[in-house]
Amino acid sequence: MGTMIYKGYAARIEYSDEDESFIGRIAGIQDVVGFHGDSVVTLKAAFEEAVDDYLEACAKVGRAPQKPFSGKFMVRVTPEIHAHAATMAEARGMSLNAWAAQALALYR
């Protein structure tokens, strides 16, 4: 499993043993845009073509294409978890936001 980036869009890539090919889907948008290829070269070309086709199709129908996530989100946790996270961030000389971003990055 991996990712590819093109024009600000990221794709999640998986390998299908059954189809003996790579299968991708644009991540971070609700529209479903998929593509596939049997090599890295064909997969990359298919991904770029899928993004370009998606943008072109949206323009044709007069609809703004969905944008990938902005990087901002709000998380609700218990007061105890909030306090622990704030303490851990302070102990490391970090803002709570920077600490949380670092913690989330560990699970990429």
DSSP letter string, the chain: -EEEEETTEEEEEEEETTTTEEEEEEESSSS--EEEESSHHHHHHHHHHHHHHHHHHHHHHT-PPPPPP-S-------HHHHHHHHHHHHHTT--HHHHHHHHHHTT-
57 and 79, same domain (yes or no): no
83 and 56, same domain (yes or no): no
The domain containing residue 105 runs over which residues? 74-108
pLDDT given at position 37: 95
Residue 20 lies in a domain: yes
Q: What is the CA radius of gyration of the chain?
A: 19
Strand order, beta sheet including 2-6? 2-6, 9-16, 21-27, 34-37
Q: Write down the mean pLDDT value for the chain.
A: 91
Amino acid found at 65: P
Give the count of domains, the chain. Answer: 2
pLDDT given at position 52: 97
pLDDT given at position 71: 76
Confidence band of 86 (pLDDT split at 50, 70, 90): very high
